[in-house]
Amino acid sequence: MTKGFSTSIYITDRQAFEECKRLLKLQGRSLSEEIMYFVLRRLDELRGTVDPSASIEETGKRYEKLKDRYSCLVEQVAKMLKRLEEWKELLDEADNLFDSLGLKPDLSNLTKEMISKFMLAWRGNQEFMHEYITLVEVAREKKEVETRLREMRCAKPGGAGPVVAE
């Protein structure tokens, strides 16, 4: 279970609040989770990253898909790194070449142009080069998804920690 924090909200209609809580419990859902989905959806709306007409259910489904995608990418990167272990010296050489081209540690500036420059400068094994570039592309996607998950799990950007009830 993800750790969160406690806060207070002001409710003007106690009867509606209690009925909502009861009905959600019958569906196996918590009011805290429902409120968190609302907060995440509203945050997306305010940032302009989601259509305001999207339902809370859609936001929850998007979050679940993002978690699944992240797990898949973590596994894919691990498998690719294991496959490239046999070329350890080339791996270090490729890392250094990308560093010299100015690739940021978060891979956010990985572009087609940078990949082209890398390919033109690479003098080693071509099979390795293509496997390595694929690894870097997948690792960039993993970091993008990781960033999006962090945003969805935090009460505010750069917040203190996850608040999504699981």
pLDDT along the chain (166 residues), means of 10: 70 89 81 78 73 64 85 94 92 94 89 94 94 94 87 52 40
Total domains in the fold of the chain: 1
Please indicate, yes or no, if residue 4 is contained in any of the structural domains.
no
Spacing of C-alpha 45 from chain mean position: 18
Q: What pLDDT was estimated at residue 83?
A: 92
Q: Which of 3, 65, 52, 60 has its CA nearest to residue 35? A: 60
CA–CA dist 131, 63 (Å, integer): 30
What length is written for the chain? 166
- Note whether residue 136 is domain-resident: yes
Please tell me the distance from the alpha carbon of residue 129 to that of residue 25, in angstroms, as a whole number.
Answer: 54
Q: Do the domain assignments include residue 9?
A: no
Token pair for residue 165? Answer: 């009830």
| Residue 12, token pair as written in the block | 């003007």
Kindly give the residue spans of alpha helices, DSSP state H, lying in 2-49.
14-26, 31-47
Which range marks the domain in which residue 62 is found? 14-153
Q: Looking at residue 160, what is its pLDDT? A: 38
pTM of the model: 0.60
In a domain, 88, yes or no: yes
Residue 1, pLDDT score? 39
Judge whether 160 lies within some domain.
no
Assess if residue 72 is contained within a domain.
yes
Q: How many CB atoms lie within 10 A of CB 59?
A: 22
Within-domain flag for 166: no
Cα dihedral across residues 112, 113, 114, 119: positive or negative: positive
Checking phi first, is residue 7 left (phi over 0); if not, alpha (psi -120 to 50) or beta? beta
Q: Is there a domain that residue 8 lies in?
A: no
Nearest-angstrom CA–CA distance, 106 and 38: 30
pLDDT of residue 26: 82
